Structure 1
Amino acid sequence: MESSTDRARSVFGNEQDDATYQKAVQSKERYLRRFGDDSKTVCHLSAAPTPVIGEMLGVRNLVISPDGTPLDIYADATQAPKPPATDRTVEGATGAPVIVGNIRMGFGHYRISMAMASAAHAMGYTPYWLDLASFKDATGSKVIRYQNDLYSKGSRISQRVGAFNKLVWEPLNSEGFRKLSYNAADQKNAELCVPLFHDIDKDIPYVGTHVWPSQAAVHAGMTHVVNAIPDNWPMALHLAEGSIHTVQTPSAYLGYHQLRGMDPARQLKPMPEGSIYYTGHYVDHELVSNIPADCSRRRNRVMGGGPVRYLLSVGGAGAQQELFAAIVEHLLPYVRRGEAVVFVNVGDHKKVWDALLKSVDGLRSEALPHFEGIDEVARFATAALDGDVSGVHAFCDKDIFTAVYSSNLLMRCSDVLVTKPSEFSFYPVPKLMIHRVGGHEAWGAIRAAEVGDGTYEMDDTAEVLSMIDSFQRERGLLGFMCDRIEDAAKAGIYDGAYRVIDLAVNGTQTLPAPRAMAR
């Protein structure tokens, strides 16, 4: 995985045309004019406690060192705090470092990062959190935050303006990002993040959960980079040549290997051997290790006549508020009869919850807020595993780690996760898939429907509400999904995060690949 001076000119031997390359150069130059040039700046990092997930997942946060002291990641692994032993602990890991490079773009990439950190911790490594968007004065961070703001704005507009969604947003997210030419500008812009890697030992295992941190690490000369691709729809946006690419599904493996549809004008050379692996779904150790117990609890609850518990996780952009309001309104009569329980996690967007209170008649009198931080959420979720719960419960916190990880905690004590087909498509919990936000998400729902741990994607509100009524009447539907989750777990389909860490550490896959599901 050698570093290259200019990866914008070609992708796996497929040359970019000169006009595409010049546009990429101009993109980088525009950002330099807008945000400044810090390429000569020496950035020193230090390891600091990470809010919320630091204690739970053993994560250390990489931040700018105020005194300019170079980073001292545990070069001698014997000096690292020894993680607790689990059934996934790797012999000889003894706290050795693994860096998880990420950005906040919605909640999805943070959630995947947490899965990687959780797996690394369970395997005996010390995960370090490197959020490339978090460095206030760094040029690369400014570029990432600017692009994230544009994406969030587009996502919100797409939910309000049907014509924009149909003519701009869906085509951009399915076909625009798919084009090989799209990769060139990203490669150039990723060069702006290189100063942040000054202190990092080039041989430390590194997992990028968004392509920009992966590309940046390769440009910085990191030698053990894994680019964990989130989407089930092949897009050139996610290519970071010089890294090992991983995907969560067989269809994504074949599509990415062939660079399917990334340039309709020519037959592209495929990705070379060893550059891409099918790992299975990226899921946290805490969820994977508890699949049998959690599925058993779900069966006992729903088949025993207890209320069906619904977890509604509203994305960071606050999209689809009208649909979520309709779902909550539809569920309230079930809640009042003791036939359903509703958990609503609005993340760090309190205004989304305020909007629900205004739009759903009677919700305010039924809802109990849990806005006091992760400890309150953890206590509630733990008690709910085997205890009784009733009513509507709202969860919100301005801390991004609490906002994201609360859904992870609540998943274990929930019976149905109501979600768009994003990163949640791959999680081991029964899922009701509502309409996507962006065309690339469609294939996440297809994967869940084929595995059988989720529904197909539902395009309109009436269809979603009808599915809820079916769950309420026919409890065996949720038992069916739990059976499929257990089948998939036995086949290793949810073990992807462990395999990604294995690839980052060893440069090849030593853990068994996912098997076909038992029938």
Structure 2
Amino acid sequence: MGGAFCRLCCNRPSESGDALDELGKPWPEKQTEDFVGLEASCRDRSYVNRMMWLTFAGFPKINAWERQVAWEAVPSPIVNGLSLLEQSQSNTPESLKVLAEALKTQKTVIVGSVRMGYGHHRIAYSALTWALELGGKPFLLDILSPDCIEAAVVRNMDKQYSRMSRIASNLGGVFDAIWGKMMLQGDANALRLSLALAQRIRGIMAAFPKDVPVITTHPFVGNMAVACGFKHVINLIFDNLPQYFVLVPGALNLVQSPSYFDKLLDMGCPAKSLRLAGHWVSSDLCINAVADSKSRIERSEQNLPRRFLIAVGGAGAQSAFLSGLLSAMAPLLRDKKIRIYLNCGDHKHIADAIVSKLKTLDLDWNEVTSSEGTVSLCKKEALDLLEEPPNWKAVTVFRFDSHFAAFRCTDLVIRVADVLVTKPSELAFFPVPKLHIRRVGAHEAHSAVRAQELGDGSVECREVPHAMQKLGQLIEPQSPLFRLMNECIIKAAEQKVYEGSKVACEFAFGAQ
């Protein structure tokens, strides 16, 4: 009886029907054991199966090996040279042939991402820009974009993650502590669960030719690609906290910092599957990092008002903190001692709350609502102009309907800002002076530490008074801290610290 119960809970491979499991062990277990040397116990197997049941509860049953989402390539309306992979209404041999032909061109790469917050798409954007810079032809794949059961499952996961992030951030205290601890649980079972999920939803990527290189910005996508049999998968590992969950067995795993590389080796990751690449930063920011830093220093020497770009995270989980921060900044804004660019992204509730707050504080503002408007502002307010535009207002609010325009705005506006105000997300790795505010999830704390080690970012300021104290240090006349951050960026840029996405593309194109 006990053996039968154990077999029921463990779901041994002989009952799964999936060819990937016909290797003596379930595929997620075999991948984990072969890659990091950790064998699953019956309890581990039972946990993963229970979590998979919860993940797919309420969704129709699917047989992954029988499913294939149809795709077509369309030009991006925003970025020249970029193609978007969108779901096709035709799933015939002819349509598959058209897709294969489109992906056959020289230096083609699929950049796979998932629209969970902004971070993973931001990393994808960095790879796309470097692929274009190197003369490649990139195709952006968002696994949440198709209308299918597989994508719906991941969308539901993201919905729950964003909801919990907002609750934890706004309530703080014990809720924040519990949520933070949960974000540190990326153990071997989390890797097995990621692999099991990828195995089940791999039909999203099954239609693509398997000889096209794939750069992935989330382990779900990377593990899907490996499960489908792609020959060349490059996984861009996010954050600065080593966890098994972020790994993609069977891929080349690239990291942003030396400490991450060192710790993953200790966790059993094979050295042949691991490389230190550098930070995931878009090409325009990398190429201009030194010149922009010198312009920021010169602006400081001329005592021009310091420009702060406040970037709201993709989960929209910072409304309470931002409200308090705006109240504290109000006197400086009224006196035009500082300027702020406030990117509310595509969060209507955040933008509405910010506008309401500005009205309450009796502050005037400009508003930008399109990518074209963002590009126009960046041209008119370039750092090297060393002046403010005529009749400038202390506050500019960015709000968008498009997810792509929302996160891309921050990449663009960084080049006209003096300081980036952000939680220690993927933006913590960008070549701009950073004032780090309260994190959303304990895993993000380690990204702020990386910035402090390089000298291009502040400590994490978890309370508004601390953030205002740090802001005061950054706006002092000829601020020593502000100069130090820019000098550290110049040094790091000269050492190619910010060129990780370039390295990833060179691996994809065979140049590494």
Whether the TM-score (by the shorter chain) exceeds 0.5 is yes
Aligned 1:267-416 pairs, distance under 5 A: 270-360=268-358, 362-363=360-361, 365-371=363-369, 373-385=370-382, 386=385, 388-389=388-389, 390=392, 391-416=394-419
Matched position secondary structure for 2:188:
coil
Aligned 1:237-248 pairs, distance under 5 A: 237-248=245-256
What is the CA–CA distance in structure 1 between the aligned matches of 2:97 and 2:152, rounded to whole Å?
A: 22
Matched position secondary structure for 2:89:
coil
What is the CA–CA distance in structure 2 between the aligned matches of 1:181 and 1:189, rounded to whole Å?
A: 12
Matched position secondary structure for 1:35:
coil
Note if 1:172 corresponds to 2:182: yes
What is the CA–CA distance in structure 2 between the aligned matches of 1:377 and 1:361, rounded to whole Å?
A: 23
Matched position secondary structure for 1:393:
strand
- Indicate which of 249, 265, 275 corresponds to 1:257: 265
Matched position secondary structure for 1:181:
helix
> Hey, what does 2:485 align to over in structure 1?
481
What is the CA–CA distance in structure 2 between the aligned matches of 1:451 and 1:182, rounded to whole Å?
A: 30
CA contact (8 A) 2:300 2:477 kept: no
> Hey, what does 1:24 align to over in structure 2?
48
What is the CA–CA distance in structure 1 between the aligned matches of 2:283 and 2:111, rounded to whole Å?
A: 16
What do the CA deviations read for 1:357-385 (whole angstroms, capped 9, x no partner)? 333565564111112x1001100011110
Note if 1:8 corresponds to 2:28: yes
CA contact (8 A) 1:7 1:241 kept: no
What is the CA–CA distance in structure 1 between the aligned matches of 2:202 and 2:351, rounded to whole Å?
A: 39
What do the CA deviations read for 1:454-483 (whole angstroms, capped 9, x no partner)? 111112211100111122224332222111
CA contact (8 A) 1:415 1:430 kept: yes
Matched position secondary structure for 1:398:
coil
> Hey, what does 2:210 align to over in structure 1?
202
What is the CA–CA distance in structure 1 between the aligned matches of 2:323 and 2:505, rounded to whole Å?
A: 39
Residue 361 to residue 475, structure 1, CA distance change in 2 (3 Å)? farther
What is the CA–CA distance in structure 2 between the aligned matches of 1:327 and 1:71, rounded to whole Å?
A: 54
Q: How many residues align?
A: 474
Aligned 1:447-458 pairs, distance under 5 A: 447-458=450-461
What is the CA–CA distance in structure 1 between the aligned matches of 2:347 and 2:54, rounded to whole Å?
A: 32
Deviation at 1:277, TM superposition (A): 0.8
CA contact (8 A) 1:248 1:282 kept: yes
Deviation at 1:315, TM superposition (A): 1.1
What is the CA–CA distance in structure 1 between the aligned matches of 2:176 and 2:73, rounded to whole Å?
A: 45
- TM-score, normalised via structure 1 length: 0.87
- Indicate which of 136, 148, 170 corresponds to 1:125: 136
Note if 1:48 corresponds to 2:110: no
Aligned 1:228-239 pairs, distance under 5 A: 228-239=236-247
Identify, as 1 or 2, the structure richer in helix.
Answer: 2
What is the CA–CA distance in structure 2 between the aligned matches of 1:74 and 1:349, rounded to whole Å?
A: 36
What is the CA–CA distance in structure 2 between the aligned matches of 1:74 and 1:383, rounded to whole Å?
A: 42
- TM-score, normalised via structure 2 length: 0.88
Structure 2 unpaired stretches of 5+: 1-18
CA contact (8 A) 1:436 1:442 kept: yes
Residue 65 to residue 456, structure 1, CA distance change in 2 (3 Å)? same
Structure 1 unpaired stretches of 5+: 81-94, 260-269, 511-519
What is the CA–CA distance in structure 1 between the aligned matches of 2:300 and 2:157, rounded to whole Å?
A: 44
Deviation at 1:64, TM superposition (A): 1.7
CA contact (8 A) 1:348 1:397 kept: yes
What is the CA–CA distance in structure 1 between the aligned matches of 2:411 and 2:483, rounded to whole Å?
A: 21
What do the CA deviations read for 1:132-167 (whole angstroms, capped 9, x no partner)? 111112x22111101101110110110133344344
> Hey, what does 1:111 align to over in structure 2?
122
> Hey, what does 1:70 align to over in structure 2?
96
What is the CA–CA distance in structure 2 between the aligned matches of 1:429 and 1:151, rounded to whole Å?
A: 28
CA contact (8 A) 1:71 1:200 kept: no
Deviation at 1:25, TM superposition (A): 3.3
CA contact (8 A) 1:74 1:96 kept: no
Q: 2:257 is aligned with what amino acid?
A: T
Greater mean deviation of Cα atoms: 139-148 or 280-289 = 139-148
What is the CA–CA distance in structure 1 between the aligned matches of 2:341 and 2:176, rounded to whole Å?
A: 31
Residue 326 to residue 28, structure 1, CA distance change in 2 (3 Å)? closer
Residue 277 to residue 29, structure 1, CA distance change in 2 (3 Å)? same
CA contact (8 A) 2:289 2:490 kept: yes
Tell me how large the CA RMSD over aligned residues is: 2.0
Q: 1:144 is aligned with what amino acid?
A: V
Residue 315 to residue 143, structure 1, CA distance change in 2 (3 Å)? same
Matched position secondary structure for 1:330:
helix
Q: 1:64 is aligned with what amino acid?
A: Q
CA contact (8 A) 2:358 2:364 kept: no
What is the CA–CA distance in structure 2 between the aligned matches of 1:72 and 1:493, rounded to whole Å?
A: 39
> Hey, what does 2:445 align to over in structure 1?
442
What is the CA–CA distance in structure 2 between the aligned matches of 1:195 and 1:76, rounded to whole Å?
A: 20
> Hey, what does 1:495 align to over in structure 2?
499
Deviation at 1:388, TM superposition (A): 1.7
> Hey, what does 1:514 align to over in structure 2?
none
What is the CA–CA distance in structure 2 between the aligned matches of 1:33 and 1:228, rounded to whole Å?
A: 30
Matched position secondary structure for 1:283:
coil
What do the CA deviations read for 1:296-335 (whole angstroms, capped 9, x no partner)? 2212212111110000001122222222222223333223
Q: 2:405 is aligned with what amino acid?
A: T
> Hey, what does 1:424 align to over in structure 2?
427
Residue 364 to residue 96, structure 1, CA distance change in 2 (3 Å)? farther
> Hey, what does 1:61 align to over in structure 2?
84
Aligned 1:142-221 pairs, distance under 5 A: 142-174=152-184, 176-177=185-186, 179-221=187-229
CA contact (8 A) 1:8 1:187 kept: yes
What is the CA–CA distance in structure 1 between the aligned matches of 2:360 and 2:52, rounded to whole Å?
A: 52
> Hey, what does 1:226 align to over in structure 2?
234
Matched position secondary structure for 1:412:
helix
Matched position secondary structure for 1:204:
coil
CA contact (8 A) 1:97 1:127 kept: yes
Residue 16 to residue 43, structure 1, CA distance change in 2 (3 Å)? same
What is the CA–CA distance in structure 2 between the aligned matches of 1:71 and 1:148, rounded to whole Å?
A: 33
Residue 356 to residue 31, structure 1, CA distance change in 2 (3 Å)? closer
What do the CA deviations read for 1:424-471 (whole angstroms, capped 9, x no partner)? 010000000112110100110000011011111112211100111122
What is the CA–CA distance in structure 1 between the aligned matches of 2:100 and 2:337, rounded to whole Å?
A: 52
> Hey, what does 1:86 align to over in structure 2?
none
